Structure 1
């Protein structure tokens, strides 16, 4: 069994996936806040 060397794995794909996930999460959060503000303004 080979010995593990910390930091030797290529993680570029994981970094791209995580960046995409964070971007999508930010868009969903902003959209949800926008919808809530719109609902508060319309429901008078």
Structure 2
């Protein structure tokens, strides 16, 4: 039973680490998009 909890905890910790990595990548992508938008500037539609 204790091993099941340890396994679940490790699985959740791994999931959290993956989510943190995904979040960091998305933040970097967003920063790049914002920089591109500032470079392009506003456009008339």
TM-score, normalisation: structure 2: 0.71
Question: What runs of 5+ residues in structure 1 fail to find an aligned partner?
Answer: 1-9
* Large movers: runs of 4+ above 3 Å: none
Give, in whole Å, the separation in 1 of the partners of 2:3 and 2:27. 36
Superposed CA RMSD: 0.9
Count residues with an aligned counterpart. 35
TM-score, normalisation: structure 1: 0.72
Give, in whole Å, the separation in 2 of the partners of 1:27 and 1:41. 21
More helix by share: 2
Give, in whole Å, the separation in 2 of the partners of 1:27 and 1:33. 10
